[in-house]
């Protein structure tokens, strides 16, 4: 469960997010809908600790995002930003493997490989799994960017491009 209480962000004297309180259930999909500039991405950035809050608290599974160690929080949150530009020569499998990093620090076990293969299979990427990201079409790259989130089995995975949270 994710709980935000009185979350506020200001730029100068302008409030971008003003006193938002919400509770996201343990499972399901939540969409945050609003016009450009309404603060959707700012709210999600504060929930995920990518941006500091001016006021308020956010808890993920009871853990305060401002004080929880990064490696502990990374086991519960995964973020897929709209502007994911990667220049490294990675395969789809390499990218998905990054979702296990908070658990393994780069030393993959058999269990980790099982999670990785399950995430690849879930999005029907098996035939693309050994291809390099820069060889894929734009749509294939977008699809290949999603399973790293599920490979880590997080509490919250969200896409900044659609401001949708899957818990």
Closest-CA residue to 125 (of 111, 112, 139): 139
Q: DSSP strand E in the chain: where?
A: 2-11, 14-24, 29-31, 55-60, 63-64, 77-80, 156-159, 164-166
Each residue's pLDDT tens digit in the chain (167 positions)? 899 999 999 988 989 999 999 998 887 778 888 887 888 888 988 998 888 999 999 999 899 999 999 888 887 887 766 555 555 788 989 888 887 887 787 788 998 889 888 888 888 889 999 998 888 877 777 777 776 555 555 444 544 444 444 44
Please give the pLDDT value at position 32: 84
What confidence score (pLDDT) does residue 161 get? 43
């Amino acid at each position: 469960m994710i709980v935000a209480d009185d979350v506020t962000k200001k730029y100068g004297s302008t409030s971008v997010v003003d006193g938002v309180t919400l509770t996201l259930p343990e499972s399901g999909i939540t969409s945050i809908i609003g016009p450009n500039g309404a603060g959707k991405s700012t709210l999600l950035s504060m929930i995920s600790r990518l941006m500091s809050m001016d006021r308020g608290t956010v808890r993920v599974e009871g853990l305060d995002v401002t004080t929880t160690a990064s490696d502990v929080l990374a086991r519960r949150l995964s973020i897929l930003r709209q502007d994911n530009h990667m220049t490294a020569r990675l395969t789809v499998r390499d990218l998905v493997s990054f979702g296990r990093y908070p658990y393994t620090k780069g030393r993959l076990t058999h269990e980790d490989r099982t999670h990785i293969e399950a995430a690849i299979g879930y999005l029907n990427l098996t035939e693309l799994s050994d291809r390099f990201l820069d060889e894929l079409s734009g749509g294939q790259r977008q699809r290949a960017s999603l399973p790293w989130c599920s490979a880590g089995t997080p509490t919250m995975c969200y896409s900044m491009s659609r401001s949708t949270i899957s818990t």
